[in-house]
Structure 1
Amino acid sequence: MTYTTTLQPLEVDQWFVDSSELRSFVSKVQEIISTTRDRAETLTTIEPYFSQLLKQEN
């Protein structure tokens, strides 16, 4: 059985884990999403930022 749920966007961001690095990454991703044309381009553009985030030891 498959369940599909559509989540509505939140009015404000909510943070379970909060760090300046994570906030910066999310901000960059939001900027990239607003300026890219399709999913493949978006993911390709985000990839180096995500890789950099994962390398951090904080």
Structure 2
Amino acid sequence: MSRELAHRVQNAFDRCKTFPEAGVHNGLFQVRGEAYMALIELRNLCPEIVLALRDRE
């Protein structure tokens, strides 16, 4: 895995950790927007991560 990809993954993961979940309020589960965006970023990085790990084999 390239250093740049590893750095991008670590940054997104760290942003997810810094935002605690808001939980359920009035029957709706709420998550802070910043944490949700970081989670989406991690999801979008998954294909790159899989390819990088596959190249190591």
Q: TM class by shorter-chain length?
A: 0.3 to 0.5
Alignment TM-score, normalising by the size of structure 2: 0.40
Higher helix share: 2
Quick one: higher RCO (CA 8 Å, sep 6+), 1 or 2? 2
Alignment TM-score, normalising by the size of structure 1: 0.40
